[in-house]
Structures are given as C-alpha cells and as structure tokens.
Structure 1
Amino acid sequence: MPTPGFPPSTLDSEGTPIWISDLAGGDPNHVLHVVRGIEAEDALEALGAKPGLIRSCELPDSKPDEWTSLPCAALGVEPGGSAALLAGRVGEWTFVYDDSGFTYDDAVTKALSADGRTAATSVYTINGDASLTYAVDGEQVEWVNFDDLELDEGFAGMPAELRAAFEAAGNVETEDFEPGEADGDILMRAACALAGLALTLDDVRRVPLLVVPFG
C-alpha cells in the first residue's frame, strides 16, 4: 500500500511521521492524542495537566542528547523525571504529544471526545506494542491493536473517517516485514492522517505551542 496522505518529506526512513520522530527521544515510549473541536489548553487540562504549569513553548533548535525529547528540553527537565506534554492546534484538530506515555488510558480518549467531539489516541511503547483508540461523543467506537491488524481486510467495519485515515496512512514495507504485513508506525500515521497532520517539524514550529510537565 502507498502512503497517499504523506509526502516523502513528512516521513522518516522507518515510516514514522517525521515531526514525531524529530520530537521524540531515543527508544520512545510515547503517545499522540488528536481531538477535533477543542483548544490546546483545554485538551491539556482534559488530560489532567495542572493549568498553572501550562506555558507557551518555543522548541529548542536541537536535543541536548539522544534520550531527551525536544518538549522535555523546552521544559529543562531530565528524561524520566516527568513526562512532557506538547500541544497545538492545526485547523479543526488539536494534538497533544506525550513523550513518555504517561497519559495512555482509554478513559482519557473518551474524556477528550466528550460533548460531541471526535478523538483518537495512538500509543507506541518501548517494547514495540502499538494500538489506536477512536472515540466519539464520550464513547469508544474502535480499538485497533497492531498485532491484530490485517491489511488485506481493507479496514472493513471501521467508521468512514477512520477507514479513510488508515487508507491515507498506507503501509511502509521494510526488510523487517513480510510483503503486505503492517509496519509498526501505521497507527501513528493513521492518527496523523485523521487530524491532517502530515507535517514536518518546521511546520509544527510555526504553530502556537503549549508545553507542560506531567506526572
């Protein structure tokens, strides 16, 4: 499958959305939340961030070391000391990038989608486990486990906009995967495709950003 929703400049060599791999520290254990129809600060608060700690953010030019994410560097905290949540709004959709996976919880996705909103959460762990949760109006509609994903089924039964997101995400075949086998980054691409986030890090830098320590 091609990746029609992602120009080559927006993916790294492994098929990860490049703005995410450019934000992440080494061996990431991270989460991406996307939600339609809410401001970035409200999304952070819905995730449990303390309002008094949320601040505007200009990302540093580079990471101080391999293990420090750019949002963590922006906060000036050591990796592992706390999660760093980075949020911004692009069009109708707001994203929250959690560099340490602290906010991964199905209940969180439901909370983000309350009051008629649509939200999705994509998680990728340090062990290579990956999943995507999709919720509408406070209810989970779909949960996709990477290990159970079958590309040849054509995402049958998914809600139309989520199916379209997976079709836009496509598949990146590498030497580690058999032909037709889903690659490990398809769920992050699907979440980005759902929210129109085929971006580079320079694109993200042009968005008004908020950052907050968490956990």
Structure 2
Amino acid sequence: MMPTPGFPSSTLDSGGAPIWITDLAAGDPNHILHVVRGIEPAEALEELGAKPGLIQSRELPDSKPDEWTSLPCAALGTEPGSCAVLLAGRVGEWTFVYDDSGFTFDDALTEALSVDGRTAAKSVLTINGDASLTYAVDGEQVQWVNVDDLVLEEDLPGMPAELRAAFEAAGTVEMEGFEPGEADVLIAMRAACALANLTLTLSDIRRLPLLILPLG
C-alpha cells in the first residue's frame, strides 16, 4: 500500500488505519479518538466525565488476550463490554484520548474540551462503518464531517485551514468499492491523527506516560 501524504508507511495498517489505533483496538471496533491542544491528559479525561479518583497510571500489556479485548481493556483486566475504557496521553501540545467503546460520543464533550480558546476534534468509527469528525474551537463546534457525504474536491476548500491541512495529510487509500481519490471510511481517523501530529506506532505510545479510566 502506498503511504498517504502525511503518514510514513510504518504508521498505517494494510487498510489505511493509523496502526497505533489498530493495535489498541478490539476486533470490529466501535471507537472514538479525541484530540485536544493545550491541556493535560487528566484534565481531558475529567472533561469527558472522569471522576479524578478513578484515573489510573498504567502501562499497556504486551498483547491482547483475544480479538474481542482492546489493549486498554486488557490493561485494566475488565471484561470486554462491561465498561468503556479510555486511554490518554500527550504528544507535544496535543493530548489524545482513545475510547475503546464509543461511549464518549456526545458532540457537547468535544465543545467542552475546546473551551478557553482551545482546539479539539473527535473522530468516530462505529461497528457499522459510520465515520465522522467533529472539530471545535473555543467551546463552539466549527465543523462536522460525515465521511459518507464527504467530497474532497468540493468540501476541503471550505474547511478551516488547520482542518483542511489535516485532511490533505490524511489523503485517501485505495479500497474495494471506492473510486480513486474518494474519501475512504478511515480518512477521519487519519485526519484527527494528522491534526494532532499522532503519526505514531504502538511502540511510540508505550513510551508515553499513560492514564487509563473505566467509564460507564
């Protein structure tokens, strides 16, 4: 597979997903990636509903016990499906929160992450293949992108410059059933990673101080 413009080939899986997310996720994932500039991981988790006393510092295990258990879920030792597990870390100015079960879906949470002049984005990919990205600045939603309706040539020029650059870096991946240059189902996840400079591998994630939280 040819790398997309902003991603070294080692940072994408064979289907075009950011490989660190693939390595964290359970099979057939229903998951969310939040990114926010300018706050610490613990603060981001609290904005997403965490009680401070439940936030834990953890290292990720070497592997998943089975295909239905996410790596964050394995780190906590919880039963898959019993709760969502959120994993948070920081790379440069950006904090990420990976939600292994899609529990933190509400767009109001993205707006809350972006208050006080911050920028935040949320990429959603459901088990049914629904994909979207929400982009918020200073407490207000600025853009919502439904990947099913995304026409890159028409829609990119109207996006805020920072978001447009992220989608340009995300590029497109050839997939069965998609025309060349058509937005594939994983473009929003790549765009969120490009926005927050998360062109990483799981080994890179393991080197970060990580916080983990059971939620729901």
Query: Per-residue deviation at 1:152?
Result: 2.4
Q: Which moved more, 1:145-154 or 1:135-144?
A: 145-154
Shift of 1:139: 0.3
Rounded Cα–Cα distance in structure 2 between residues aligned with 1:183 and 1:96: 23
| Contact 2:124/2:132 (<8 A) preserved | yes
Match of 1:45 in 2: 46
CA displacement at 1:156 relative to structure 2: 1.4
Mapping 1:125-140, distance limit 5 Å: 125-140=126-141
The residue that corresponds to 2:55 in the other structure is: 54
SS in structure 2 opposite 1:134? strand
> How does 1:1-215 map onto structure 2 within 5 Å?
3-153=4-154, 155-215=156-216
Between 1:170-179 and 1:86-95, the stretch displaced more is 170-179
8 Å CA contact retained: 1:110, 1:136: yes
User: Which letter maps to 2:42?
Assistant: E
Provide structure 2 residue ranges, at least 5 long, that are not aligned to the other structure: none
* 2:6/2:170 contact within 8 Å kept: yes
- d(CA) in 1 for partners of 2:155 and 2:171? 11
Deviations 1:57-79, CA, capped at 9 Å, x for gaps: 10000000000000000010011
CA distance in 1, matches of 2:135, 2:28: 25
Residues 156-211 of structure 1, C-alpha deviation per residue, up to 9 Å, x if partnerless?
11000000000000000122322222111000000000000000000000111000
CA deviations 1:83-105 (Å, max 9, x no partner) are 00000000000000000000011
Paired with 1:108 and 1:98, the residues of 2 have a C-alpha distance of: 13
Shift of 1:30: 0.1
Q: Distance in 1 between matches of 2:180 and 2:196?
A: 28
Question: What displacement does 1:140 show?
Answer: 0.3
Tell me, yes or no, if the aligned pair for 1:2 and 1:171 is still in contact at 8 Å: no
Counterpart CA distance in 2 for 1:142 and 1:190 is: 13
TM-score, normalisation: structure 2: 0.97
Contact kept, 8 Å, 2:16 with 2:173, in 1: the verdict is: yes
Q: Tell me if the contact between 2:3 and 2:9 (Cα under 8 Å) persists in the aligned partners.
A: no
